[in-house]
Protein backbone atom coordinates (compact mmCIF):
# COMPACT_ATOMS: atom_id res chain seq x y z
CA UNK A 1 0.00 0.00 0.00
CA UNK A 2 0.95 3.64 -0.44
CA UNK A 3 0.67 5.32 2.97
CA UNK A 4 0.74 9.13 3.29
CA UNK A 5 1.57 10.37 6.79
CA UNK A 6 1.38 13.88 8.21
CA UNK A 7 3.46 14.10 11.37
CA UNK A 8 5.47 11.05 10.41
CA UNK A 9 8.72 12.22 12.04
CA UNK A 10 7.32 12.36 15.57
CA UNK A 11 7.32 9.65 18.23
CA UNK A 12 4.35 7.62 16.99
CA UNK A 13 5.07 8.41 13.35
CA UNK A 14 8.62 7.09 13.51
CA UNK A 15 7.45 3.79 15.01
CA UNK A 16 4.63 3.56 12.48
CA UNK A 17 6.97 4.13 9.54
CA UNK A 18 9.27 1.36 10.77
CA UNK A 19 6.39 -1.13 10.97
CA UNK A 20 5.09 -0.13 7.54
CA UNK A 21 8.53 -0.53 5.99
CA UNK A 22 8.89 -3.97 7.57
CA UNK A 23 5.75 -5.18 5.86
CA UNK A 24 6.67 -3.69 2.49
CA UNK A 25 4.46 -0.61 2.26
CA UNK A 26 5.58 2.57 0.52
CA UNK A 27 5.55 5.61 2.80
CA UNK A 28 5.44 9.31 1.98
CA UNK A 29 5.79 11.76 4.85
CA UNK A 30 4.44 15.30 4.80
CA UNK A 31 6.80 17.39 6.92
CA UNK A 32 7.79 20.98 7.63
CA UNK A 33 11.44 19.92 7.75
CA UNK A 34 13.50 20.64 4.64
CA UNK A 35 16.13 18.63 2.83
CA UNK A 36 15.28 15.22 4.27
CA UNK A 37 16.70 12.46 2.09
CA UNK A 38 14.20 10.09 0.49
CA UNK A 39 14.87 6.39 -0.08
CA UNK A 40 13.25 3.56 -2.02
CA UNK A 41 10.61 3.02 0.66
CA UNK A 42 10.30 6.46 2.31
CA UNK A 43 9.71 9.76 0.53
CA UNK A 44 9.57 13.18 2.16
CA UNK A 45 7.44 16.04 0.92
CA UNK A 46 7.71 19.51 2.43
CA UNK A 47 4.34 20.79 3.62
CA UNK A 48 3.12 23.61 5.83
CA UNK A 49 0.09 22.43 7.77
CA UNK A 50 -2.25 25.25 6.76
CA UNK A 51 -1.59 25.02 3.02
CA UNK A 52 -3.81 22.92 0.75
CA UNK A 53 -1.93 23.88 -2.41
CA UNK A 54 0.34 21.15 -3.70
CA UNK A 55 -1.32 18.41 -1.66
CA UNK A 56 -3.41 16.81 -4.40
CA UNK A 57 -0.61 14.79 -6.08
CA UNK A 58 0.23 13.27 -2.69
CA UNK A 59 -3.44 12.60 -1.96
CA UNK A 60 -3.88 10.86 -5.31
CA UNK A 61 -0.76 8.75 -4.73
CA UNK A 62 -2.00 7.44 -1.40
CA UNK A 63 -4.15 4.43 -0.54
CA UNK A 64 -4.35 5.54 3.09
CA UNK A 65 -3.71 8.83 4.87
CA UNK A 66 -2.64 9.05 8.52
CA UNK A 67 -2.68 12.40 10.29
CA UNK A 68 -0.51 12.59 13.42
CA UNK A 69 0.41 16.27 13.08
CA UNK A 70 0.32 18.44 16.19
CA UNK A 71 2.75 20.25 18.46
CA UNK A 72 3.88 18.54 21.68
CA UNK A 73 1.32 19.15 24.43
CA UNK A 74 3.75 18.77 27.31
CA UNK A 75 6.83 20.47 25.91
CA UNK A 76 6.17 23.92 27.43
CA UNK A 77 4.13 25.55 30.17
CA UNK A 78 0.62 26.42 28.98
CA UNK A 79 0.57 30.15 28.38
CA UNK A 80 -2.35 31.47 26.36
CA UNK A 81 -0.07 31.63 23.34
CA UNK A 82 1.07 28.04 23.85
CA UNK A 83 -2.51 26.81 24.22
CA UNK A 84 -3.39 28.49 20.94
CA UNK A 85 -0.40 26.79 19.27
CA UNK A 86 -1.53 23.40 20.59
CA UNK A 87 -5.02 23.94 19.20
CA UNK A 88 -4.03 25.49 15.87
CA UNK A 89 -1.37 22.90 15.06
CA UNK A 90 -4.01 20.19 15.24
CA UNK A 91 -7.08 21.85 13.82
CA UNK A 92 -5.34 23.53 10.88
CA UNK A 93 -3.52 20.41 9.71
CA UNK A 94 -6.62 18.22 10.05
CA UNK A 95 -8.89 20.73 8.36
CA UNK A 96 -6.48 21.27 5.48
CA UNK A 97 -6.00 17.56 4.90
CA UNK A 98 -9.72 16.89 5.21
CA UNK A 99 -10.55 19.56 2.64
CA UNK A 100 -7.82 18.31 0.29
CA UNK A 101 -9.16 14.75 0.47
CA UNK A 102 -12.75 15.95 -0.01
CA UNK A 103 -11.75 17.97 -3.09
CA UNK A 104 -9.64 15.23 -4.68
CA UNK A 105 -11.03 13.19 -7.56
CA UNK A 106 -8.86 10.22 -6.46
CA UNK A 107 -8.84 10.21 -2.65
CA UNK A 108 -7.45 7.46 -0.42
CA UNK A 109 -9.86 4.81 0.80
CA UNK A 110 -9.18 5.51 4.49
CA UNK A 111 -8.16 8.46 6.65
CA UNK A 112 -6.83 7.66 10.14
CA UNK A 113 -6.99 10.71 12.38
CA UNK A 114 -5.16 11.03 15.69
CA UNK A 115 -6.90 12.28 18.80
CA UNK A 116 -6.59 11.52 22.52
CA UNK A 117 -8.54 10.06 25.42
CA UNK A 118 -8.41 13.58 26.82
CA UNK A 119 -11.54 14.02 24.68
CA UNK A 120 -13.61 12.80 27.63
CA UNK A 121 -12.28 15.25 30.18
CA UNK A 122 -11.21 14.11 33.64
CA UNK A 123 -12.96 11.30 35.51
CA UNK A 124 -12.30 9.08 38.55
CA UNK A 125 -10.93 5.59 37.94
CA UNK A 126 -14.26 3.88 38.60
CA UNK A 127 -15.79 5.63 35.56
CA UNK A 128 -15.00 3.43 32.56
CA UNK A 129 -15.07 5.52 29.40
CA UNK A 130 -16.20 4.01 26.11
CA UNK A 131 -16.18 5.83 22.79
CA UNK A 132 -19.79 6.99 23.16
CA UNK A 133 -19.06 8.82 26.43
CA UNK A 134 -19.68 12.59 26.18
CA UNK A 135 -16.86 15.04 25.64
CA UNK A 136 -15.42 16.96 28.54
CA UNK A 137 -15.18 20.73 28.97
CA UNK A 138 -11.56 21.35 30.01
CA UNK A 139 -8.88 22.68 27.66
CA UNK A 140 -7.61 19.34 26.34
CA UNK A 141 -11.14 18.02 25.88
CA UNK A 142 -12.01 21.09 23.83
CA UNK A 143 -8.83 20.64 21.77
CA UNK A 144 -9.75 17.03 21.02
CA UNK A 145 -13.30 17.97 20.05
CA UNK A 146 -12.09 20.66 17.65
CA UNK A 147 -9.37 18.32 16.34
CA UNK A 148 -11.85 15.60 15.48
CA UNK A 149 -14.45 18.03 14.14
CA UNK A 150 -11.87 19.43 11.71
CA UNK A 151 -12.14 16.15 9.79
CA UNK A 152 -15.86 16.78 9.12
CA UNK A 153 -15.33 17.52 5.38
CA UNK A 154 -14.83 13.75 4.96
CA UNK A 155 -18.46 13.13 5.92
CA UNK A 156 -19.52 14.09 2.40
CA UNK A 157 -17.13 11.57 0.82
CA UNK A 158 -16.81 7.79 0.64
CA UNK A 159 -13.50 7.91 2.52
CA UNK A 160 -13.59 5.80 5.69
CA UNK A 161 -12.62 7.86 8.73
CA UNK A 162 -11.14 6.12 11.78
CA UNK A 163 -10.18 8.20 14.82
CA UNK A 164 -7.47 6.91 17.17
CA UNK A 165 -7.93 8.38 20.65
CA UNK A 166 -4.52 7.69 22.15
CA UNK A 167 -3.69 7.26 25.79
CA UNK A 168 -0.25 8.14 27.17
CA UNK A 169 2.17 6.61 24.67
CA UNK A 170 5.13 5.01 26.43
CA UNK A 171 8.62 5.10 24.93
CA UNK A 172 12.07 5.77 26.41
CA UNK A 173 12.77 7.92 23.35
CA UNK A 174 10.13 10.57 23.92
CA UNK A 175 6.93 11.61 25.65
CA UNK A 176 5.99 11.03 29.27
CA UNK A 177 8.15 7.97 29.98
CA UNK A 178 11.32 9.66 28.76
CA UNK A 179 10.71 12.41 31.34
CA UNK A 180 9.79 9.97 34.10
CA UNK A 181 12.85 7.76 33.81
CA UNK A 182 15.59 10.10 35.18
CA UNK A 183 13.77 10.89 38.46
CA UNK A 184 12.66 7.25 38.80
CA UNK A 185 16.30 6.14 38.57
CA UNK A 186 17.13 8.55 41.39
CA UNK A 187 14.30 7.33 43.62
CA UNK A 188 12.18 10.42 42.94
CA UNK A 189 9.64 8.81 40.62
CA UNK A 190 6.76 8.63 43.08
CA UNK A 191 3.10 9.37 42.57
CA UNK A 192 1.74 12.77 41.62
CA UNK A 193 -0.80 14.11 44.08
CA UNK A 194 -2.96 11.35 45.55
CA UNK A 195 -1.81 8.88 42.90
CA UNK A 196 -5.39 7.63 42.55
CA UNK A 197 -5.99 9.31 39.20
CA UNK A 198 -6.27 6.88 36.26
CA UNK A 199 -3.28 6.61 33.95
CA UNK A 200 -4.35 5.42 30.45
CA UNK A 201 -1.10 4.11 28.98
CA UNK A 202 -0.10 2.28 25.79
CA UNK A 203 3.21 0.87 24.56
CA UNK A 204 4.55 2.75 21.53
CA UNK A 205 4.58 -0.38 19.35
CA UNK A 206 0.93 -1.11 20.18
CA UNK A 207 0.03 2.48 19.33
CA UNK A 208 1.68 2.16 15.91
CA UNK A 209 0.23 -1.32 15.33
CA UNK A 210 -3.26 -0.02 16.15
CA UNK A 211 -2.97 2.56 13.38
CA UNK A 212 -2.07 -0.17 10.89
CA UNK A 213 -5.01 -2.22 12.16
CA UNK A 214 -7.35 0.72 11.55
CA UNK A 215 -5.93 1.12 8.05
CA UNK A 216 -6.38 -2.55 7.18
CA UNK A 217 -9.71 -3.29 8.87
CA UNK A 218 -12.29 -2.07 6.38
CA UNK A 219 -15.08 -2.10 8.97
CA UNK A 220 -13.15 0.10 11.42
CA UNK A 221 -14.87 3.48 11.38
CA UNK A 222 -15.35 6.25 13.91
CA UNK A 223 -13.52 6.68 17.23
CA UNK A 224 -11.43 3.99 18.95
CA UNK A 225 -9.73 4.29 22.33
CA UNK A 226 -6.10 3.29 21.81
CA UNK A 227 -5.05 2.55 25.38
CA UNK A 228 -4.02 -0.62 27.15
CA UNK A 229 -6.81 -2.93 28.36
CA UNK A 230 -5.00 -3.10 31.71
CA UNK A 231 -5.95 0.11 33.45
CA UNK A 232 -3.86 1.46 36.30
CA UNK A 233 -3.62 4.49 38.54
CA UNK A 234 -0.79 7.00 38.56
CA UNK A 235 0.46 5.52 41.83
CA UNK A 236 0.39 1.97 40.46
CA UNK A 237 2.31 3.11 37.41
CA UNK A 238 4.92 4.86 39.57
CA UNK A 239 5.44 1.71 41.63
CA UNK A 240 5.70 -0.49 38.52
CA UNK A 241 8.25 1.89 37.01
CA UNK A 242 10.29 1.86 40.22
CA UNK A 243 10.37 -1.93 40.12
CA UNK A 244 11.45 -1.85 36.47
CA UNK A 245 14.43 0.38 37.21
CA UNK A 246 15.10 -1.41 40.52
CA UNK A 247 14.98 1.70 42.65
CA UNK A 248 12.95 2.54 45.75
CA UNK A 249 10.47 5.40 45.75
CA UNK A 250 11.87 8.00 48.11
CA UNK A 251 9.93 11.07 46.97
CA UNK A 252 6.56 11.98 45.54
CA UNK A 253 5.07 15.30 44.48
CA UNK A 254 2.05 16.62 46.41
CA UNK A 255 -0.66 18.25 44.31
CA UNK A 256 0.15 21.82 45.35
CA UNK A 257 3.76 21.40 44.22
CA UNK A 258 2.68 19.95 40.88
CA UNK A 259 0.44 22.98 40.37
CA UNK A 260 3.24 25.39 41.26
CA UNK A 261 5.56 23.68 38.79
CA UNK A 262 3.19 23.20 35.87
CA UNK A 263 0.35 25.69 36.22
CA UNK A 264 -2.78 24.72 34.29
CA UNK A 265 -0.96 21.73 32.76
CA UNK A 266 -1.05 20.18 36.24
CA UNK A 267 -4.66 19.14 35.63
CA UNK A 268 -3.41 16.72 32.98
CA UNK A 269 -1.01 15.18 35.52
CA UNK A 270 -3.26 15.10 38.58
CA UNK A 271 -6.35 13.75 36.84
CA UNK A 272 -6.99 11.29 34.02
CA UNK A 273 -9.31 8.89 32.22
CA UNK A 274 -10.01 5.17 32.52
CA UNK A 275 -10.50 4.63 28.79
CA UNK A 276 -11.82 1.24 27.70
CA UNK A 277 -10.10 -0.53 24.80
CA UNK A 278 -13.01 -2.95 24.38
CA UNK A 279 -14.19 -1.59 21.03
CA UNK A 280 -10.71 -1.94 19.53
CA UNK A 281 -10.41 -5.47 20.91
CA UNK A 282 -13.88 -6.44 19.70
CA UNK A 283 -12.83 -5.31 16.21
CA UNK A 284 -10.00 -7.86 16.38
CA UNK A 285 -6.95 -5.92 17.57
CA UNK A 286 -4.55 -7.86 19.80
CA UNK A 287 -2.25 -5.97 22.14
CA UNK A 288 1.34 -7.15 22.21
CA UNK A 289 1.91 -5.33 25.51
CA UNK A 290 -1.36 -5.36 27.44
CA UNK A 291 0.44 -6.03 30.73
CA UNK A 292 2.11 -3.05 32.39
CA UNK A 293 5.02 -4.96 33.92
CA UNK A 294 5.82 -6.61 30.57
CA UNK A 295 5.55 -3.29 28.75
CA UNK A 296 7.94 -1.53 31.13
CA UNK A 297 10.34 -4.47 31.06
CA UNK A 298 10.48 -4.13 27.27
CA UNK A 299 10.85 -0.36 27.35
CA UNK A 300 13.40 0.18 30.12
> Which backbone phi and psi does 153 adopt, to 5 degrees?
-55, -25
| Confidence at 32, pLDDT banded by 50, 70, 90 | confident
What is the residue extent of each domain of the chain? 2-168+201-228+275-288
Please work out, in degrees rounded to the nearest 5, the angle formed at the alpha carbon of residue 89 by the alpha carbons of 287 and 36. 80
pLDDT > 90: what percent of the chain? 89
Categorize the per-residue pLDDT at 184 as very low, low, confident or very high, splitting at 50, 70 and 90.
very high
Q: How far apart are the first and last CA of the chain?
A: 33
196 has a pLDDT exceeding 80: yes
Entry pTM: 0.95
CB 200 within 8 A of CB 228: yes
Question: What's the rounded Cα separation, in Å, for the pair 24 and 43?
Answer: 14
CATH fold for the domain made of 2-168+201-228+275-288: Rossmann fold (3.40.50)
State how far the Cα of 148 lies from the Cα of 140, in Å rounded to an integer.
12
User: DSSP per residue over 245-263, as a string?
Assistant: HT------B-HHHHHHHHG
Report whether pLDDT(37) > 80.
Answer: no
Q: CA 271 to CA 54: how far, in whole Å?
A: 42
Amino acid sequence: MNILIAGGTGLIGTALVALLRDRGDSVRILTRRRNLSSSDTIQYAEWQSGAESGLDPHIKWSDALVNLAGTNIGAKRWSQQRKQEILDSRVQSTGTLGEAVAHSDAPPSVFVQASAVGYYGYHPAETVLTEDAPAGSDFLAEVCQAWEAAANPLAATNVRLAIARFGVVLSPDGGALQRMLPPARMGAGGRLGSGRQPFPWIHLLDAAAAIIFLIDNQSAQGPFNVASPESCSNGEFARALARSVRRPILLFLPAFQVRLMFGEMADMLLEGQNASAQRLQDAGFEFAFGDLEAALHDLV
